[in-house]
Amino acid sequence: METNQNPQKKNSNKDLARGMGIGIAIGAGIGVALGNLALGIGVGVAIGAAIGLSRSQKNKDKSE
């Protein structure tokens, strides 16, 4: 079975995952510093998702 997945969509998923991973790492550091790891990770995921979505949108605009 061959899947014909759009390479652009695949890259946008990678951007989102990469952004969330970076956000989790930053959020964990902030959470440890503030003494509330769950809050830090939550904020980091939100920031990372925003970064990943903005990067994927930027790449989408470039390709058009």
Closest CA to 23 of 55, 57, 46: 46
Q: Where are the domains of the chain?
A: 16-63
pLDDT one-digit tens code per residue, 44-54: 999 988 888 88
In a 3-state reduction of DSSP, which class is residue 47? helix
- Span 19-53, pLDDT tens digits: 888 889 999 999 999 999 999 999 999 998 888 88
pTM higher than 0.75: no
